[in-house]
Structure 1
Amino acid sequence: MDLTADESAYVAVTAVPEFGSRVSYADGVEVSVQDADGNNCSPVESQEARFGASESPHPITATAVRRVGPDEKTCEGAGTYYVLVERASAPESSQGAWDLELRVASEPALRSTRAVPTEPPRSWNSATPAPPTGERQRREGGASFHGARALGRGVWGDSIEPGETLFYRVPVDWGQQLSVGAELGSSGESGALGGGGASGESGGADGVGRGAGRGSGYVSSALVMSLMNPVRVGVDDADTAYDGKQKTAELDPLPPVAYENRYAPADEVAAMRFAGWYYLAVHLSADVAKKFGDDPLDLTLRVDVGGTARPGPEYAGSPVPAEEFGVTERDREAARRGEMAAGSGVDRGDDGRAMAALAAGGIGSGVVLLAILGGWAWVARRRVA
């Protein structure tokens, strides 16, 4: 990456193992940004992402950063910087190649630091808000960041198959506070969602199909929900075990989006540092199929975006991609309409498999955005709308 002296660069690496492959708890990827002498630019040597307790193959994302500012003493100045991606796999894990997607975002320096606090907020409303209620509306999840389905405040539903990962995105402006809960239906219900109903309800005329209950057992970390900020830095995770009955997972209370959150020692607070699109990745462990069959299960998301939007900091230049750290009226309309991410460059064949796409383009100051979307087997099972 060719960077100027006054831009922070965020590199997100998403690794996608082949559907049905074997992964262990500690398998994952590490990513770091280095200068021309091999010195690491991140506060720690590298950032990592692991598959964790679910031990189920699904997309995982790790990020690294080159920061600029008066307190940053490494990787100063303009020049060429390097991204190092490393994979960790246990000997007993599948050794097949993983597809990678690399994304770079650039944040300019502030026009003036005098009007922006340099300490994290001392207090904020940490009470869990009452989740939205009402009729559940159909919003089919996407198969990747590029196909993430837009959501606003409300109750949304889809069905999810064992081994599948669904992506959503929520616009959160400066000063606003996001909360999300996920509900997984019982194994006695099919995942065919129609116009209404809540997670776990029986189907019929409302469009939620009936299914014969079958299977028994227990799957730890069956449903894993991950929240990432606009540059795909992990904010928080929530998971739940599954025994065939409806289950719920909720993210911990998060602070309102503020520039000064970046100075907080807690990672989940520091990650709420940008306005923009926040991403949800919801994964259902492949082990659910072994215990309860491979029929899809009902998934309900309760999304709340509270607080009044306020103006953000004044940057000295333009973020890259443009409008990266903000929410526009166009974004809010996309959430109301449930649009997929624009310019994904991803097409689907008749079997639902993502077709190969390669996109590369300059994104300012010589930084190059490289997105490699191979023939990902993990979306081969996705149903075509």
Structure 2
Amino acid sequence: MKRQRNRGRAMLAALAAMCATVVVLPGQAYAAGPPAYSFDPDAKNVQGAQLNAEASVLQPGAVYRSSIEPGEKLYYRVKLDSLTDAYVSAVAVPKSGGSVAYGDGITVSIRTLNDSRCSSNQTTFGSGETPRPIAAYAHRTIGKGTSTTCKDAGPYDVLVERESKPTSSPEAWNLELRFVEEPALKSGGPTETTAPKDWPSATPAPLDVEAQKRTGGSSYYDATSLKTGEWIDEIAPGQTRFYRVPVDWGQQIYASAVLSNTTTDTTEFIGNALTLSLDNPAQGHITDTSLSYAGKSATTALKPLPPVAYRNRYDYSSQVSTLRFAGWYYLSVTLSPKVAESYGKDPIALTMSVQVNNEAGESPYDGDPGIFAVTEKDKELAQSGDSAPKAAKSATMQVVAAGALGTGTVLVLGLGAWTLLARRRAAAAGGPGPVHQQPPPFGGPPQQGW
């Protein structure tokens, strides 16, 4: 019984600690500048190698942290079988206070040990020249269009290259690396090996809904979940907000961003003041768009994209081929630090509009689809707005609370059993019962004087 009591106290203490929150008053969140990128706390540190023979091996399903200097070409390694499609992504995170030039960015490729390239993708910061987290991925796929030299089982090199102009900040960029494998297909499907040519390409009508408050995250790891709707947030100069939207097979995603006006008298024009970007569930970059700002309300929207389909991968356009699987699609919004020079450092109101159209189709995979699916839990998170870590914390709190409640019930039942037993003993002895006795310490004898 003593062990049960100690366990109950420990669980209640853990619950109290997890329930503790830090209250941030308006304006305090940006006192020290925009929050830093939130790396996955489970990410393992790994060192990129300049020689492929010294490359560290990445494990499927794992997340890694690394870094890359200007002009560096770093090797990592994966071990692949002859049946599975594989994806390796790199998120480059420059310092928010630094500078980048047009054309700066990262390139990720997967190569054989003979240096034959299986695939390669590059993502740059664009003409806005704003330092922000950017993602690129490479894949080794077995299907149509894949070189025969990339279909064999064995080790493959992952090469991450950084392009930086001499005028850019020389500091190292942090890297977040992910290696995921795509599930096997069901027997007999899908069999089409050409990308769809006809799909709804018109911009949908604006939503007729009331906008709701929802605060974006600071990385892919803690991105805030969204569903179809209008979402009000705020963004500070130099800050990047992250959101994620569940998009199932056959569904189309549309997104736009509106930057509010300010109350200042300044009307200075800032080109590419805000960038809206979209990435797929494997952190493969799909597309981005930007808006200019002069102190008045301004908007930008992603161009219409095709419905999510397995056969999209056979298209030569990356804006189509990256929409190849269901799951969480990531939206990120970055406000240029140049905005602070004319309009101050305070955050500006931001409205995100998201639409996910069409009924969900059937998964083509055999067995567990992993991250390439939209589950009922995902839909619940999109409804509530929880991020992945917030949802995990909530689930842990429920387990702890249930455990503490269960332990408390055991303690009450134990005390009730002791009282009943004491009364029976007193009745058998002809005594007055335990009303003048104090409940014992657990495991100890009754005490007088209660």
Deviation of 1:141 (Å): 0.5
Partner of 1:2: 79
Partner of 2:291: 240
User: SS of the counterpart of 1:81?
Assistant: strand
CA distance in 2 between partners of 1:344 and 1:279 (Å) = 17
Partner of 2:91: 14
Kindly indicate whether the alpha-carbon contact (under 8 Å) linking 1:32 and 1:40 is maintained by their aligned counterparts in 2.
yes
User: SS of the counterpart of 1:140?
Assistant: coil
CA distance in 1 between partners of 2:99 and 2:187 (Å) = 50
Counterpart selection for 1:290 from 312, 318, 341: 341
Q: Cα 1:271–1:71, aligned 2, differ >3 Å: closer, same or farther?
A: closer
CA distance in 2 between partners of 1:19 and 1:344 (Å) = 28
Kindly indicate whether the alpha-carbon contact (under 8 Å) linking 1:146 and 1:344 is maintained by their aligned counterparts in 2.
no
CA distance in 1 between partners of 2:365 and 2:86 (Å) = 18
Partner of 2:277: 226
Partner of 1:262: 313
Partner of 1:29: 106
Deviation of 1:112 (Å): 3.1
Kindly indicate whether the alpha-carbon contact (under 8 Å) linking 2:144 and 2:193 is maintained by their aligned counterparts in 1.
no
Q: Are 1:164 and 2:239 an aligned pair?
A: yes
Kindly indicate whether the alpha-carbon contact (under 8 Å) linking 1:131 and 1:303 is maintained by their aligned counterparts in 2.
no
Kindly indicate whether the alpha-carbon contact (under 8 Å) linking 1:180 and 1:251 is maintained by their aligned counterparts in 2.
yes
Partner of 2:428: none
Deviation of 1:314 (Å): 3.1
Equivalent runs, 1:74-85 vs 2, <5 Å? 74-85=149-160
Deviation of 1:87 (Å): 1.1
CA distance in 2 between partners of 1:127 and 1:70 (Å) = 30
Deviation of 1:20 (Å): 0.8
CA distance in 1 between partners of 2:142 and 2:284 (Å) = 17
User: SS of the counterpart of 1:289?
Assistant: helix
Counterpart selection for 1:335 from 382, 399, 421: 382
When Rg is computed on C-alpha atoms for both structures, the one with the higher figure is: 2
The one-letter code of the counterpart of 2:342 is: K
Q: Which sits farther off after the overlay, 160-169 or 18-27?
A: 18-27
User: SS of the counterpart of 1:74?
Assistant: helix
The one-letter code of the counterpart of 1:132 is: L
CA distance in 2 between partners of 1:146 and 1:114 (Å) = 32
Deviation of 1:82 (Å): 1.7
The one-letter code of the counterpart of 1:218 is: F
CA distance in 1 between partners of 2:311 and 2:342 (Å) = 46
TM-score (norm 2): 0.67
Kindly indicate whether the alpha-carbon contact (under 8 Å) linking 1:16 and 1:99 is maintained by their aligned counterparts in 2.
yes
User: SS of the counterpart of 1:225?
Assistant: strand
User: What do the CA deviations read for 1:261-298 (whole angstroms, capped 9, x no partner)?
Assistant: 11223322222111110000101111111121111110
Deviation of 1:186 (Å): 0.5
The one-letter code of the counterpart of 1:50 is: T
CA distance in 2 between partners of 1:143 and 1:102 (Å) = 17
User: What do the CA deviations read for 1:19-67 (whole angstroms, capped 9, x no partner)?
Assistant: 210111111111111222222111xxx3211111111111111111111
Partner of 2:18: none
Counterpart selection for 1:116 from 169, 187, 191: 191
Equivalent runs, 1:1-385 vs 2, <5 Å? 1-42=78-119, 46-69=120-143, 71-72=145-146, 73-188=148-263, 213-315=264-366, 318-319=368-369, 323-342=370-389
User: SS of the counterpart of 2:319?
Assistant: helix
The one-letter code of the counterpart of 1:123 is: D
CA distance in 2 between partners of 1:276 and 1:110 (Å) = 16
With a CA cutoff of 8 Å and minimum separation of 6, indicate the structure with the bigger relative contact order. 1
Kindly indicate whether the alpha-carbon contact (under 8 Å) linking 1:116 and 1:313 is maintained by their aligned counterparts in 2.
no
User: SS of the counterpart of 2:85?
Assistant: strand
CA distance in 1 between partners of 2:301 and 2:109 (Å) = 30
Q: Which sits farther off after the overlay, 7-16 or 116-125?
A: 116-125
Deviation of 1:228 (Å): 0.8
Deviation of 1:238 (Å): 1.3
The one-letter code of the counterpart of 2:261 is: S
CA distance in 1 between partners of 2:162 and 2:318 (Å) = 23
User: What do the CA deviations read for 1:151-188 (whole angstroms, capped 9, x no partner)?
Assistant: 00111011000010000000011111111111000122
The one-letter code of the counterpart of 1:105 is: V
User: What do the CA deviations read for 1:316-345 (whole angstroms, capped 9, x no partner)?
Assistant: x545xxx21110100000000101124899
CA distance in 1 between partners of 2:390 and 2:176 (Å) = 15
Q: Which sits farther off after the overlay, 248-257 or 158-167?
A: 248-257
Q: Cα 1:160–1:270, aligned 2, differ >3 Å: closer, same or farther?
A: same
User: SS of the counterpart of 1:105?
Assistant: strand
Deviation of 1:114 (Å): 4.8
CA distance in 2 between partners of 1:15 and 1:99 (Å) = 6
CA distance in 2 between partners of 1:269 and 1:70 (Å) = 16
Unaligned runs of 5+ in 2: 1-77, 394-450
Unaligned runs of 5+ in 1: 189-212, 347-385
CA distance in 2 between partners of 1:114 and 1:39 (Å) = 29
Kindly indicate whether the alpha-carbon contact (under 8 Å) linking 1:214 and 1:293 is maintained by their aligned counterparts in 2.
no
Q: Which sits farther off after the overlay, 299-308 or 112-121?
A: 112-121
Q: Which has the higher helix share?
A: 2
User: SS of the counterpart of 2:185?
Assistant: coil
CA distance in 2 between partners of 1:285 and 1:305 (Å) = 28
Kindly indicate whether the alpha-carbon contact (under 8 Å) linking 1:131 and 1:304 is maintained by their aligned counterparts in 2.
no
Identity of aligned residues (%): 46
Deviation of 1:104 (Å): 1.3
User: SS of the counterpart of 2:386?
Assistant: coil
Residue correspondences, number: 315
CA distance in 1 between partners of 2:212 and 2:149 (Å) = 49
The one-letter code of the counterpart of 1:80 is: P
Note the aligned Cα RMSD (angstroms). 1.9
